[in-house]
Structure 1
């Protein structure tokens, strides 16, 4: 390696040109990167909840929709002004791009009998209505269980227009953008033309748009302060703008290489995998800082620039390679994730980490040969402070070991306080329009958490059989008795209402008829009487072989939703034929379940990564004893971090399920540098364990403090994101890195002095 270092230092311009050329070659792949805002990108094709959701969409109408709530200032939907706005919104919704179905109060049809004839007519007649007509329509709407709590709030103060879209199979991203632009323009127009009217938008299409909105927010609110902070920290420490710029150049080139190679591989980014950029920028600083601190230290000892850089590379090449390798292994373990974006995130960051390593020992040393030398701002004061810290730690090693073990055990005991689950509405900062609007609709109109059950009857037409429908009705009634449920939507309610209407409104006729042919006739006549674009295919499949039961929930934690689904399946197994027993599905269920799936799969990946890292550490240090000692301060921060999370936040979701693997490679970095210098002092200088600890603190302690500070600040800045997954990942990682630094300074040295001595240890005085 010495010859390679001499060549790098001796041919700086050639090295820099080669590094830039390699970066540009990777950058040529950037146009190959894709981006998707679709929420379904988080689910792999073999995810069971995703497969259930796809099966429902294949059997019934697709649910790509926008739900537009209208809230009049006066709180009365059935005023002349609000009904006029509702008609305008309904008519305009038909003109939205790709709209296939529009449903609202003004085109909802009610059924009743006229003699032996079933009559289906609009709930709200066309034209201007008198006060009595509006009052009558309000009463009938609130009495209709297909309306109240769905298209109309139970107090009659908010209503909605539901629009379903038939999206093209190709370029759905463009279709989403076109729809959301048109919908928002419609909402703005309604609010402008009808003062006091509030328009709120939710639905799967708006969920996808919220993903885009959160990315835009991050680009303008997260990345600028991050770059400014990194520049200030480096500038203050090195006290030279040129050194800071060269370091930032390594960061920018590392990100470019990582995303360029991802583009060559055809990776499609989303809101989660885009976080790779800021993670790489944070991690890439560490290698450069260690090389530059070693370079500045060698210059301070009187060496000239080439000799100082060669000495820095000689000392740092091995630990920098080792830290990069362990960090990359930690991120590569994310390939065990059940969610594709997090697999992409791990691969992109691992690539960036390797690129940062290569650039920090090639481009950066070469650049330093043609730029003014850095002047590390930590100075002798920091070294004196670190020496006093080392002496204190060694002198009180037994107390610190006992206290450390108690803290580790205490915080680790809080890990079970974490609960699994993700609420997709809460993925977004309250400043994002989707979250604000969805929470309003969830509170004032209808629940946006739901579970859908596709209940199969078997053969074509069998879903119209009386026995089958009675079983569906029994399940619906069971759900209505559950405290978590707000309302239940089922074809059995429609059949019951039709039978009652055909029997002169007799309450005793509000039941499922005994004749399959009569039921089929009711549904056929009702469907044929509906206006174009409306139907009942969301309740019963087109071939009448299955019924869909939709259970709308009150706002509840995701774990409680999973518990309700489990209770429902237990009831089905007891009361329904085996063919009708089915798991529930919905966007809410999918996100509620994937965190648990992902944690289980990531546990395997993290364990394997840990084994690989342990082997690498033992091999690198040439000592099984040092390798084993290093494991304690590397694992303890993970356990303590999740314990702190359980005590403070208590919710682990899709993002935090990958943090153990993500941080495993990072927290190893400080202990690697500390142990490398410790081992060097023991072998080359023949120092005792206590003196070797002081030597390590003096030579790498400043760099460890700076790199850990940068890492903590970088990940802490991720909490400014508008996307909660990014916020949680950044916050938990920053906590673990801080705990790792404390463990490396306060817990690892006592372990070394106690467990790695051939003779009585120096007491540190």
Structure 2
């Protein structure tokens, strides 16, 4: 049956090519349906617990998208006439930004004090031109205010910030992000031009989303062009004929088009992670074509004409190419167990592209080669003397290689526990991306960008103004202030204590929570009514006064240390607070720190199922359970060794690297499938001894294995040039594992085959 199919492909090349192109064009009609999002929340599924906690805080405390602009004067003094004028100018201009709904800065921050029985709320920075003495007095007041120092103002008075809140329309949020970002950057540039020596730094959730866009733009201009050029050069050097190279590139382009076209029909929305599917498909699709073309060139060299040579190549490669495509697709489909939607999309798109590449490599490619001139003599053929020497070494040293291989595998695998889980979202981006540089500056010089937020519930409406409840909140805030990881704590209790002190003639003893719930409610009401438009306290206490938000701003610390702090905090809450107040912390930092561990746990199930399916496929394909299981040993070993090497070198396992085990499982099986197929062919069809079968397998498939592994490694190594750290880590770890897999296939798998083949009595 397969023979008839191959004869039809070879005998009617034009029909096959037209059908392949028509199929590709049909799939391509789905491309307009592809979406793209730069939103960081795309990494979290709706049922993610950290995401649900974060959304609960956003909904309860009227939190929206924001931009934080930090102003750093060259003289290191915010309280000069020019810098204060710049702050006022920025505060006023920020209100004109698209979708701006709130602005907070030094010049519109209000302080409170008592005048007789009246609570007075007035600007911290007086309006108009200030004398030097007035500016110094303003500096002292600002640095003494716990709600200002370390937040809107650096503790040394050298940097200040302006926070702008935006209410973006859900219907066109991506366009709104671009509109806001453009306007903010233009405003910052204008401010720097008008005030000599002033530097403006930008961060916040809006700028985080823009950083996602910036990293994609960087990759499209700096990563993809060299990748395409390198792939073309590798193929051109190997095949030595432009037409053969172009036919292979045609398979690659059509595979990507089909995969992304079908993704468009499925309504998939791409982001910075799933967009990497294009490079992965292009890299993987080369392997099938190389094996078919190498077999074709070898058959031509033996004296067959073009049709006979192609039919022979398809005959000997059809099964291994199908198996490699199937196992690779299974590995990527296992990514559907990921907790992160973009990685599920990545797995499905790549699996589709792999299947498309398989179909095109046994239809379009053979048909194209019937129309194009035959490869030049020696194209795709490399001297096999070194492979024969390698085979001889492996055969002669097979017992030593098994022992040495086990030692290396166990040794490297023992380093796996050195990996720590977690992602710092600021470090998702290369230092060339403005967001990382600016955020690290603000984190270092002004206010910490790592934080944990706790929504503390009092129960009924108004109950958050109860003195007993607020004292419990303050006790938790005080516990946090004593922790070494904490930079500052923001709580409504600070405001209540300051208001109570102001209404008691500034008496330091009155800096406490009042005993009257009605008095607290009155303080907060008067204070809110005195604030200018666009400012309020709904970020500290909910609108219905049933809950408060405690924000814990952290020093720069590793993610696992942040999670440990949250765990200690909940332990303290359980021991010292009512059960209804015990709550997990949440923030963007917490979400990304936690999802890597969640994803790794869920991917264990996916990888285990993929392993089971691949084992069954291998056993069925080779008609031997023993051979199928033996083939998996050198394919699981590279995964263990790769994560061990990662633990020794990088040591951080994040969201991207947590899917690498599943991603590489199907890929690394490919080489062993081809080696085992040629070994079995030599044993069954040629009647060779096990040792001679190893030599024959090395001679027939060794060059192709080296080329495909080299291309795969280069493709994933090039991903390390990305401006997006997730792509960098995924590419680097995958390349390491593929390299280790090639060594295992040449140095570990053949000795296992020889040791397990009982008919090998000579060993030569």
TM-score, L = length of structure 1 = 0.99
Deviates more, 1:332-341 or 1:747-756: 747-756
Query: Is the CA contact 1:9–1:306 (under 8 Å) kept in the aligned structure 2?
Result: yes
* Equivalent residue number for residue 324 of structure 1: 325
* Equivalent residue number for residue 703 of structure 1: 704
4+ runs of 1 displaced by more than 4 Å?
376-381
2:121 counterpart SS class:
strand
Query: Is the CA contact 2:294–2:380 (under 8 Å) kept in the aligned structure 1?
Result: no
Q: CA deviation at 1:377?
A: 5.4
1:574-585 equivalent positions in 2, closer than 5 A: 574-585=575-586
Q: CA deviation at 1:141?
A: 0.2
1:458 counterpart SS class:
coil
Q: CA deviation at 1:758?
A: 1.9
Post-superposition Cα deviations, 1:48-72, rounded to whole Å, max 9, x if no partner, equal 0000001001100223100000000
* Equivalent residue number for residue 602 of structure 1: 603
Post-superposition Cα deviations, 1:453-494, rounded to whole Å, max 9, x if no partner, equal 000000000000000000000000000000000000000000
* Equivalent residue number for residue 758 of structure 1: 759
1:151-170 equivalent positions in 2, closer than 5 A: 151-170=152-171
Q: CA deviation at 1:759?
A: 4.1
Query: Is the CA contact 1:401–1:750 (under 8 Å) kept in the aligned structure 2?
Result: yes
1:424-573 equivalent positions in 2, closer than 5 A: 424-573=425-574
Question: 2:635 matched to 1:639?
Answer: no
1:262-301 equivalent positions in 2, closer than 5 A: 262-301=263-302
Tell me how far apart the structure 2 counterparts of residues 391 and 307 of structure 1 sit (CA, whole Å): 32
1:382 counterpart SS class:
coil
Post-superposition Cα deviations, 1:543-573, rounded to whole Å, max 9, x if no partner, equal 0000000000000001100000000000000
Tell me how far apart the structure 2 counterparts of residues 463 and 376 of structure 1 sit (CA, whole Å): 84
Query: Is the CA contact 1:35–1:269 (under 8 Å) kept in the aligned structure 2?
Result: yes
Q: CA deviation at 1:167?
A: 1.1
Query: Is the CA contact 2:293–2:380 (under 8 Å) kept in the aligned structure 1?
Result: no
- Structure 2 unaligned residues grouped into runs of 5+: none
Q: CA deviation at 1:90?
A: 0.5
1:255 counterpart SS class:
helix
1:135-150 equivalent positions in 2, closer than 5 A: 135-150=136-151
Deviates more, 1:396-405 or 1:348-357: 396-405
Tell me how far apart the structure 2 counterparts of residues 523 and 453 of structure 1 sit (CA, whole Å): 21
Q: CA deviation at 1:757?
A: 2.8
Tell me how far apart the structure 2 counterparts of residues 337 and 672 of structure 1 sit (CA, whole Å): 27
* Equivalent residue number for residue 19 of structure 1: 20
Question: 2:185 matched to 1:184?
Answer: yes
- Structure 1 unaligned residues grouped into runs of 5+: none
Query: Is the CA contact 1:447–1:554 (under 8 Å) kept in the aligned structure 2?
Result: yes
Tell me how far apart the structure 1 counterparts of residues 452 and 380 of structure 2 sit (CA, whole Å): 62
* Equivalent residue number for residue 115 of structure 1: 116
* Equivalent residue number for residue 370 of structure 2: 369
Compared CA separation, residues 647 and 376, structure 1 to 2 (3 A): farther
Post-superposition Cα deviations, 1:498-532, rounded to whole Å, max 9, x if no partner, equal 00000001000000000000000000000000001
Query: Is the CA contact 1:378–1:702 (under 8 Å) kept in the aligned structure 2?
Result: no
1:72-87 equivalent positions in 2, closer than 5 A: 72-87=73-88
Tell me how far apart the structure 2 counterparts of residues 580 and 761 of structure 1 sit (CA, whole Å): 75
* Equivalent residue number for residue 387 of structure 1: 388
Tell me how far apart the structure 2 counterparts of residues 761 and 478 of structure 1 sit (CA, whole Å): 75
Post-superposition Cα deviations, 1:377-406, rounded to whole Å, max 9, x if no partner, equal 577653111011101110011111111110
1:429 counterpart SS class:
coil
2:533 counterpart SS class:
coil
1:82-101 equivalent positions in 2, closer than 5 A: 82-101=83-102
Post-superposition Cα deviations, 1:89-146, rounded to whole Å, max 9, x if no partner, equal 1001000111110000000000000011000000011110000110000000000000
Query: Is the CA contact 2:415–2:644 (under 8 Å) kept in the aligned structure 1?
Result: yes
Give the superposed CA RMSD.
Answer: 0.8
Tell me how far apart the structure 1 counterparts of residues 133 and 386 of structure 2 sit (CA, whole Å): 85
* Equivalent residue number for residue 58 of structure 1: 59
Alignment size in residue pairs = 763
Q: CA deviation at 1:631?
A: 1.2
Tell me how far apart the structure 2 counterparts of residues 483 and 704 of structure 1 sit (CA, whole Å): 54
* Equivalent residue number for residue 687 of structure 1: 688
